[in-house]
Amino acid sequence: MKEELDALTKNHTWDLVTLPPGQSVVGCKWIYKIKTRSDGSVERYKARLVAKGFTQEYGIDYEETFAPVARISSVRALLAVAAARKWDLFQMDVKNAFLNGDLSEEVYMQPPPGLSIESNKVCHLRRALYGLKQAPRTILLLLYVDDMIITGDDLSGIQELKDFLSQQFEMKDLGHLSYFLGLEITHSTDGLYITQAKYASNLLSQAGLTDSKTVDTPVELNAHLTPLGGKPLSNPSLYRRLVGSLVYLTVTRPDISYAVHQVSQYLSAPRSTHYAAVLRILRYLKGTLFHGLFYSAQSPLVLRAFSDADWAGDPTDRRSTTGYCFLLGSSLISWRSKKQTFVARSSTEAEYRALADTTSELLWLRWLLKDLGVSTSSATPLYCDNQSAIHIAHNDVFHERTKHIEIDCHFIRYHLLHGALKLFSVSSKDQLADIFTKSLPKRRTRDLVDNLKLVSHPP
């Protein structure tokens, strides 16, 4: 607590004043946390003073709250490029990052608990404090809140950047990258291994499944969840907590993306069948605890994409599921399992809508890779296993069966003609995006896991 109070004082976070008439006061509280290393050992004990931002009123205490941070796909793409170019990866942390931002609004806060202050005084905040609605927005940097990755082929330039940042902010140099946002990153001469084994292990402990039996697939074959299956859960908070944690686990575990996508649809009213599906995902994770991404040092920096759809796969509303994935050489950097917004009237329509979503991600990744110095001069190959969808993309004639997806048609065709992508037919057997659209048998799951370069890397 003393360390936190010293930082608040050093940054001149507030002035002690008498509360002006008509002004409201925001409360605050101490939050205690044990920070651990990637191996689970205790790094340090931390206390943080947090404002009760939920009591703030929009338009009075704050305006904008959106805080831009790096997409996880950007992090994975950067790591894949660094691995292929054999660049060193470094990590830095901004100490008390939020306290570096100035507040433009008038915000008054109760004094921190345990601090001896005159009874008629309140804290007039000058700096953004953790918990305030607008706090994350006061700094705009290319990083993830206060954690940053630095890489490149110029080690002296990297050191100069570190020195410059340390002059502007109070920084912590964490050395070579090994643990970032819960991702465990292991370096070898072959490349990078990226896992969340510690995170998954903690999740199994929360669910009481550390001694449970394992299963070979995250979803039972041909199983379909429905809103009214089973009995309502008496306490749905555990279900929601587990599903939320599983969503973050998909950052390095694409093999559970479809399963997590399924159970995420029932957060508002979870039932016993939904909870059983969550437990199955966890039992699958127990048997594949150390699985994660592998980014090869020999991987060519060539982007390719796979797009797939499961037509009318949801028995409740007959909406289709889109699945896509992107590989940079052999390194998987982006993927998604997503329920389509509209009900497709044919498998071709479902596949075409999936192609449109994949094209959007493709354009963004091409821009990102160009920014990272990766050549994107040639068209990106996009693989689809539906010949009719490919034919529509190349055919500029619309008729009654396709005019309702005309916007998607023009969108894909425009970028096809302008050289951003090139469509190729792929057999269902070689369709890597299959794992993001449906439940699969054990052998098929294992084959796709291998082809997506998911590997087991025990410590």
- pLDDT of 137 over the 50 cut: no
Range list of H helices, 229-344: 237-249, 257-263, 272-287
Work out the average pLDDT over 87-102. 78
CA distance 405 to 411: 10
Is the Cβ–Cβ distance between 214 and 286 less than 8 Å? yes
Query: Which has more pLDDT, 338 or 136?
Result: 338
Is the Cβ–Cβ distance between 158 and 173 less than 8 Å? no
CA distance 273 to 228: 9
For 138, which DSSP code?
Answer: G
Q: What's the Cα-to-Cα distance from 120 to each of 30, 55, 132, 277, 352, rounded to whole Å?
A: 21, 21, 23, 55, 65
Which pair of structure tokens corresponds to residue 98? 């939020």
Is the Cβ–Cβ distance between 282 and 242 less than 8 Å? yes
Q: Model confidence over 411-453: pLDDT tens digits? A: 999 999 999 999 999 999 999 999 999 999 999 999 999 999 9
Q: 455-459 long-range contacts, Cβ below 8 Å, gap at least 24?
A: 455/193, 455/291, 455/292, 455/294, 456/288, 456/290, 456/291, 456/292, 457/186, 457/193, 457/195, 457/290, 457/292, 457/294, 458/290, 459/39, 459/197, 459/290
User: Which element (helix H / strand E) includes 422?
Assistant: strand 421-425
Q: Which domains does the chain have, with CATH numbers?
A: 2-181 (no CATH), 194-287 (no CATH), 300-452 (3.30.420.10)
For 413, which DSSP code?
Answer: H
- pLDDT of 69 over the 80 cut: no
Handedness of CA 410, 422, 307, 290 (dihedral sign): negative
pLDDT at 248: 97
25-26 vs 108-109, strand pairing mode: parallel
What does the angle CA 158 – CA 164 – CA 166 come to, to the nearest 5 degrees? 105
Is the Cβ–Cβ distance between 297 and 289 less than 8 Å? no
Work out the average pLDDT over 3-28. 85
For tokens 């004082």, the residue is 9
Work out the average pLDDT over 160-186. 90
User: Which element (helix H / strand E) includes 153?
Assistant: none
CA distance 79 to 73: 10
Three-state DSSP at 93 gives: strand
Residue 36 pLDDT class (50, 70, 90 cuts): confident
Which pair of structure tokens corresponds to residue 395? 């055919």
pLDDT at 140: 30
What does the angle CA 159 – CA 162 – CA 167 come to, to the nearest 5 degrees? 130
Q: Model confidence over 350-407: pLDDT tens digits? A: 999 999 999 999 999 999 999 888 999 999 999 999 999 999 888 865 555 565 677 8
Residues in the chain, how many? 459
- pLDDT of 66 over the 60 cut: no
pLDDT at 292: 98
Residue 97 pLDDT class (50, 70, 90 cuts): low
- pLDDT of 27 over the 80 cut: yes
Cβ neighbours, 10 Å, residue 364:
14
Work out the average pLDDT over 90-102. 75
pTM for the complete prediction?
Answer: 0.82
DSSP 207-244: HT-TTPPP-S-SS-TT----TTSS-B-S-THHHHHHHH
